[in-house]
């Protein structure tokens, strides 16, 4: 059996690390620059912080205010360099000793662990016949930080028994970073040209290879993207944690939808909604679960109503759980 976890920034936030875009902006706008176009960007962020909740989408829109690809490249490089420096300090300050490694392993081996009771029972019944199998557990990180990688040092590429996992034996594979690392091929970009407002920029191959994620990966020729595609195409269970399911990663969400349509695969999504604070009102949770299923299934381009329903039936969602709470 194959389990694939997709990890977003919520994993680092769950460790009480200040890795959100808002945290970065607080740091970034205080750095003086002699470049007027960079200062324009910082004024824009400062005056419209809500519009910049998604840095990559906002940059795609901001291209309408930039005259040349060279100017945009100055901005892109400045953001990457400063974001890298900021996150390095955050990562270096983290106390790895406070993490309960056994809990981390259990969450990796049992992605259903924090589902609602009814969903959990149904899910476990689906995979009862796999109990004696060896599970390969892969993780695709959308993060630039390597905190999860460091937590798994000494735990990968060996067969082990993990408490409460779906199968008796598991092998945890090294983390794959589809968006790069803090010191290597760090990607800031969008999913496709439709997310770039400056229509002249998308006619430029240099711009596309720098800012369109799929084109960046092709040009970099690192093949990590191909490996991740293969992992998802062969997954029996996919678990998404800590991601806003943003449009700049639509490529991956659509790929997962296609995998669900092929059968023999379930998707678990752990979402956080800060506006749902009171567990007294379970109808709010149910409403949010339907909303998440609708949002995810909509990523499948040109899907029929029947296909949409099949996708939804293979999605499990939990809201505001303590999944991956490991400190």
pLDDT digits (tens, 9 = 90+) for 10-46: 999 999 999 999 999 999 999 989 899 999 999 999 9
pLDDT in tens, 294-322: 999 999 999 999 999 999 999 999 999 99
Own/partner long-range contacts of 71-80 (Cβ < 8 Å, ≥24 apart): 71/37, 72/201, 72/207, 72/211, 73/206, 73/207, 73/210, 74/35, 74/37, 74/38, 75/37, 75/38, 75/41, 76/188, 76/210, 76/211, 78/33, 78/35, 78/38, 79/28, 79/55, 79/188, 80/186, 80/188
Q: Indicate whether 191 pLDDT > 80.
A: yes
Q: Full-prediction pTM beyond 0.75?
A: yes
Whether the CB-CB separation of 98 and 151 falls below 8 Å is answered with no
Spell out the residues 6+ positions from residue 42 whose beta carbon is closer than 8 angstroms to its own.
Answer: 28, 29, 33
pLDDT of the residue at 207: 97
Tokens describing residue 298? 């909509």
List pLDDT tens digits, range 208-233.
999 999 999 999 999 999 999 999 99
Q: Does residue 277 surpass a pLDDT of 80?
A: no
pLDDT of 281 above 70: no
Q: Mean of the per-residue pLDDT values for the chain? A: 95
φ, ψ for residue 238, nearest 5 deg: -120, 130
Q: Among the residues of 93-223, which ranges form H helices? A: 101-109, 117-126, 147-151, 205-211, 213-220
Buried b (16+ CB within 10 A) or exposed e, 111-124: bbbbbbeebbeebe
Q: How do residues 102-155 score in pLDDT, each as one tens digit?
A: 999 999 999 999 999 999 999 988 898 888 999 999 999 999 999 999 999 999
141, 197, 210, 249, 250 from 192: Cα distances, Å: 20, 11, 12, 9, 9
Per-residue pLDDT at 128: 86
The predicted pLDDT at position 49 comes to 84
CA distances to 103, 161, 261 from 158, rounded to whole Å, are 18, 10, 32
- On the question of pLDDT at 278 being above 80, the answer is no
Location of structure tokens 């390095």 = 88
Query: Comparing C-alpha atoms, which of 195, 248, 186, 198 is closest to residue 71?
Result: 198
């Amino acid at each position: 059996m194959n389990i694939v976890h997709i990890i977003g920034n919520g994993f680092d936030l769950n460790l009480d690390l200040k890795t959100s875009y808002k945290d970065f902006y607080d740091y970034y706008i205080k750095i003086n620059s002699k470049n007027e176009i960079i200062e324009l960007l910082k004024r824009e962020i400062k005056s419209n912080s809500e519009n910049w909740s998604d840095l990559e989408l906002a940059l795609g829109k901001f291209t309408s205010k930039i005259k040349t690809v060279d100017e945009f490249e100055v901005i892109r490089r400045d953001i990457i360099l400063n974001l890298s420096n900021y996150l390095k300090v955050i990562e270096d300050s983290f106390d790895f000793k406070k993490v309960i490694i056994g809990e981390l392993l259990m969450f990796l081996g049992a992605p259903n662990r924090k589902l609602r009771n009814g969903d959990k029972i149904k899910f476990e019944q689906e995979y009862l016949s796999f109990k004696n199998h060896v599970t390969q557990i892969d993780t695709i990180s959308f993060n630039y930080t390597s905190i999860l990688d460091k937590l798994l040092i000494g735990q990968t590429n060996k067969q082990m028994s993990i408490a409460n996992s779906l199968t008796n034996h598991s092998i945890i594979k090294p983390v794959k970073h589809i968006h790069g690392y803090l010191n290597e091929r760090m990607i800031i970009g969008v999913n496709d040209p439709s997310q770039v407002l400056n229509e002249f920029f998308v006619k430029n191959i240099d711009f596309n290879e720098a800012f369109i994620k799929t084109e960046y990966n092709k040009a970099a020729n690192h093949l990590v993207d191909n490996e991740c595609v293969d992992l998802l195409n062969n997954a029996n269970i996919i678990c998404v944690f800590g991601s806003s399911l943003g449009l700049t990663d639509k490529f991956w969400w659509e790929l997962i939808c296609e995998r669900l349509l092929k059968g023999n695969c379930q998707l678990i999504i752990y979402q956080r909604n800060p506006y749902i604070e009171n567990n007294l009102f379970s109808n709010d949770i149910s409403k949010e679960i339907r909303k998440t299923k609708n949002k995810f299934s909509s990523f499948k381009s040109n899907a029929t109503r029947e296909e949409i329903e099949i996708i939804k039936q293979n999605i499990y969602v939990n809201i505001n759980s303590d999944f991956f709470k490991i400190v």
